[in-house]
Amino acid sequence: MTRTILRGILAAALAIPILLVGAGCSTESQAPSPDKAQNGDPVKIGVSFGVGDASRWVSEQQYMENRAAELDVEIEVRLNKTDEPKTQTEDCIEMIDGGIDVLILTPRDVNNVQDILAYAKQHNVPVVDYARAITNEDVDLFVGYDSGRIGQTLGQYLTELVDEGDYIILSGDPGDYNAELLNEGALRYIDPIRSDINVILETSVPGWSPDAAKQLVYDAVSANGNSVDAILAPNDKIAGACREALDELGITDPVIITGMDAELDAAKRVVDGKQSVTVYMDLEELATTAVDEACHLARGEAVNANADFDNGTENGITANLITGKLVTKENLDKILIDSGYFTREDVYGE
């Protein structure tokens, strides 16, 4: 296994800020004026998560419900993992028919939400696109991550540590625009060194499936004589699947593996040296922001925005974006434990 690991740059990599598009310019965007919930009348928020099994979504549901209680507004959250027994579209239509004033939507397929958006518009219900950017459709606000910048930071981290050797480059679901932005950001640093590295696998992972990722990595590494030096994994579930594949192959040499979401299992892998880095995003801030801005929209008030987000529409969409922090073994205690996100016992079992 051949690899040149550049020493002395890890601290510099950790100091790289994940910058925000439009940062430093907090703006207000005038919201539409729905028929209901004007002038301080009671607000009812509907939330539809069309998501997988990542633990973050349960946490975000709780954060949203807590914030709604603080604001004394009604909220209904539907966590739809499988489109069964009802599809996400059916969930949204039911909530709109049930009288919600605003919809917070995390779509399962960002390219297939026309029916939901049309029905919401027909019933004068504003839509907050949450966490996954909807493409080529107008929505009232996007609340999410600056995925492109996060991808750049992960790509820079990876390429500064491994400038030659065998690479695996994984991106998320091909229908998820955030996955595309994350991958494009990382490739800004990986592409310039392609002549120096050997990419043994470069593919998307349908449905963000850890099982699919594990098999892809297992097959690619096995076919390459059990040799791999760096893996760009787009989230912690997939990073964990990559680690499992390497363990089953009996690989004990160090492999740099990225991740994202700062899940507890990932934090444990970082401590154990089985995953190199994850990205911590303040999920409570993200969820709270979505509820706050949903209330503004429901009341016809101006929303708080800090970016214009290019989602493929003519003018883009108004956005409120948050950033993240790289988490490695060296700074994990400060970022994840001192902040109260996890306890020391959670991570270290102490």
246-269: pLDDT as tens digits: 999 999 999 999 999 999 999 999
| pLDDT tens-place string over residues 69-93 | 999 999 999 999 888 889 999 999 9
Q: Are strands 303-305 and 27-29 parallel, antiparallel or unpaired?
A: antiparallel
Identify the pLDDT of residue 272: 97
Question: Does residue 3 have a pLDDT over 80?
Answer: no
Any alpha helices (H) in the chain, and if so which ranges? 10-14, 56-71, 88-97, 114-122, 147-161, 177-190, 210-223, 236-248, 264-272, 283-298, 332, 344-348
Q: Do domains 10-17+147-280+326-348 and 27-146+282-323 have the same CATH topology?
A: yes
Of residues 81, 61, 134, 73, the one with CA closest to residue 102: 73
Contact present, 226 and 248 (Cβ < 8 Å): no
Average of per-residue pLDDT values in the chain: 89
Mean pLDDT, range 104-123, rounded to an integer: 94
Residues 269 and 258: their CA atoms lie apart, in Å, by 11
- The pTM assigned to this predicted structure is 0.74
Higher pLDDT, 25 or 134: 134
Q: What is the DSSP string of 220-241?
A: HHHHTTS---EEE-SSHHHHHH
Residues 345 and 350: their CA atoms lie apart, in Å, by 5
Identify the pLDDT of residue 39: 56
With a pLDDT cut of 90, the percent of the chain lying above it is: 73
Mean pLDDT, range 239-248, rounded to an integer: 98
Of residues 247, 193, 197, 182, the one with CA closest to residue 221: 247
Least confident of 1-10, 141-150, 195-204: 1-10
Mean pLDDT, range 194-215, rounded to an integer: 97
Identify the pLDDT of residue 38: 54
Mean pLDDT, range 281-305, rounded to an integer: 94
Question: Does residue 30 have a pLDDT over 60?
Answer: no
46: β partners: 76, 103
Burial of 194 (C-beta count, 10 Å sphere; 0-12/13-18/19+): exposed
303: β partners: 29
Q: What is the DSSP string of 106-174?
A: E-SSTT--HHHHHHHHHTT--EEEESSPPPSS--SEEEEE-HHHHHHHHHHHHHHH-SSEEEEEEE--T
Q: Are strands 44-50 and 102-106 parallel, antiparallel or unpaired?
A: parallel
Mean pLDDT, range 25-41, rounded to an integer: 49
Q: Domain 27-146+282-323's class? A: alpha beta
CATH architecture of 10-17+147-280+326-348: 3-Layer(aba) Sandwich (3.40)
Question: Does residue 14 have a pLDDT over 70?
Answer: no
Residue 53 banded pLDDT, cuts 50, 70, 90: confident
**Per the structure block, which two tokens stand in for 130?**
């949450």
Contact present, 208 and 178 (Cβ < 8 Å): no
Contact present, 317 and 138 (Cβ < 8 Å): yes
Task: Break the chain into its structural domains and give their ranges.
Answer: 10-17+147-280+326-348, 27-146+282-323
Least confident of 61-70, 247-256, 318-327: 318-327
